[in-house]
Amino acid sequence: MTVLSVEGLSKTFDVHVLDDTQVVGLDGVSFNVREGEFLAVVGESGSGKSSLLKCLYRTYDPTDGRVVYHGDDEVDLATCDDRTVMALRGTAIGYTSQFLNEIPRVPAVDVVARPLVEQGTPAETARGRARELLQALSVPAELWDAYPATFSGGERQRVNLAQALAPDPDLLLLDEPTSALDPETRREAIDLLETALGQGTTVIGVFHDTDVVAAVADRVVVLDEGRIQAVLPIEEFDGEVVR
């Protein structure tokens, strides 16, 4: 079953500081994603990987094209109203970048539990799930009740990934979520992603590391200057365009 159909997606930026010069982020990008599939997005720096994920999550308003999400109802994420976008975020569609969104004076366990609590899960149940994820990503237990503001880059990234996984979204958009992790914790992150995939989560992810792409991806979308250069099964991907 197709979860997401991306059709002719384009994003042009008006850069005011450059006398309103137009910068092309994406140009006519089309692909489909199947339920339970892991699609990796690769390409050189500036090829449009982050812009693509931000358009799919509607952090950016696409300039043109359709992003049809086949959930309970069919929704065009490129044009639907903000209320529909907000309703889909969390339970249906999750997003995480490589940087943790700081929430001042909120302990790590509550940062991870927050999306669940916002959906109505009782706080203690949500914290239980948060602790499981923090444990699985080897965040030291003594940090669970501390504030992430003082954490290392890798610790923060693990809190970030745990937060994205906590609500078990149907579609997970990941923008370099493992860039600061050492090989061991990266392996743990891959294990958690594989568990999520096994439970039917669909993932679209940008990864810096070829080993992560090779370990988890089913197919690879190769972007070049905002356009799709190729969509390949993982067996045919040689890893060369991962920056």
3-state secondary structure of 21: strand
- CA distances 90 to 118, 164, 195, 215, 240, Å, are 9, 8, 18, 26, 34
Sign of CA dihedral 198, 203, 206, 210: positive
Q: Shortest approach of ligand ATP to residue 60 CB, angstroms?
A: 7
Shortest separation between residue 242's beta carbon and ligand ATP, angstroms: 10
Tokens of 37: 């599939």
Q: How far is the CB of 100 from ligand ATP (least distance, A)?
A: 17
Binding residues for ligand ATP (CB under 6 A): 13, 15, 23, 25, 43, 45-51, 243
Task: Give the nearer residue to ligand ATP in terms of CB position, either 49 or 156.
Answer: 49
Name the minimum Å distance from CB 95 to ligand ATP.
14
Give the count of alpha carbons within 13 A of 105, CB side only.
0
Report the residue number, 51 or 185, with the smaller CB distance to ligand ATP.
51
Query: Can you tell me the distance from the alpha carbon of 195 to that of 104, in angstroms, rounded to the nearest whole number?
Result: 31
Residue 59 or 91 with smaller CB distance to ligand ATP: 59
Nearer to ligand ATP, 34 or 243 (CB): 243
